[in-house]
Amino acid sequence: MRGIPTVLITVSPEVSAQMRPPRALYPKGFGVGNSLGRPGLRELQRQVLRDALRLLTENTRPGQFVTREYPDYGEQYEPPRVRAKGE
Amino acid sequence: MTLSRKCVPFTPFDGELSKATVAIVSAGGVHLKEQEPFNIADELGDLSFRVIPDDADTSQLMVTHHHYDHADADSDINVVFPLDVLRDLKEEGFIREVARKHVGYMGYTMQLKAMYEGTAPEIANEIDRGSRADVVVLTGG
């Protein structure tokens, strides 16, 4: 089977990293359930999707997570963390 | 944090985005209202997936997933499943085409091995067969 290039948009980079995705965009501070931004903010959603797709043509190294900031999103959230053993 | 010991399955993209066909695969529990909802009653999770056609009316998409707050997706599905956004990028010439098929599944599972070895390759095959996708955008909740 040939491979299909993929890019992940994640709001939980630490959690997603455990599955070793090929390349990923983390829109900094976006809440869970808001991978592309908030409802109705279509230009913000377009911006996030364009940035994610651009990672396919940039020279990302396998497994790289790229963080981008989007001030239009507004209030920021802390991403979910992965608990270490024993925590 | 413990990383998977599996290597990163990296497939390079050598083309141009303006000539690319793009599919969406989302773990956000997205499906058409007319399709069977994911089974959130099973504590082990639901390993099935739904194929969403390119001409889907996004007002007919919904979320069945109980491990994230999908109130925002309920009012605008594009926040987790950006099908209208992808259509916009086609209109502006950023990409060439929206793929013929997209996939929704419920990312939460306690059956990681079955998800990794069963569902994931099945989804890849589904996209490979007849979606005409050159690249895939993955989203979660």
Residue B124 CB neighbours (<10 A):
18
B14 in a structural domain: no
> B49 is in which domain, residue-wise?
26-139
Q: What is the ipTM of this complex?
A: 0.93
**A6: which chain B residues are within 8 Å (Cβ-Cβ)?**
11, 25, 135-138
Angle at B34 between CA B29 and CA B36, to 5 degrees: 55
Q: Any CB–CB contact under 8 A between B73 and chain A?
A: yes
| pLDDT confidence of residue A19 | 87
Contact B132, B13 (CB under 8 A): no
pLDDT(B1) > 50: no
- Residue B79 has its nearest CB partner, among A23, A33, A63, at A33
The tokens for B21 are: 């066909």
Number of domains in chain B: 1
Contact B11, A3 (CB under 8 A): yes
| pLDDT confidence of residue B130 | 84
A3 contacts B72? CB cut-off 8 A: no
Q: How far is CA B50 from the centre of its chain?
A: 9
Q: Any CB–CB contact under 8 A between A27 and chain B?
A: no
B129 in a structural domain: yes
**Percent of all residues in chain A with a pLDDT value above 70, rounded to a whole number:** 94
B11 in a structural domain: no
Contact B126, B101 (CB under 8 A): yes
Instruction: Give the range among A43-47, B75-79, B130-134 with minimum mean pLDDT.
Output: B130-134
B83 in a structural domain: yes
B101 in a structural domain: yes
More confident residue, A49 or B67: A49
* B34/chain A closest Cα distance in angstroms: 22
Give the pLDDT band of residue B69 (cuts 50, 70, 90): very high
pLDDT tens-digit series, residues B42-51: 989 999 999 9
pLDDT(B92) > 80: yes
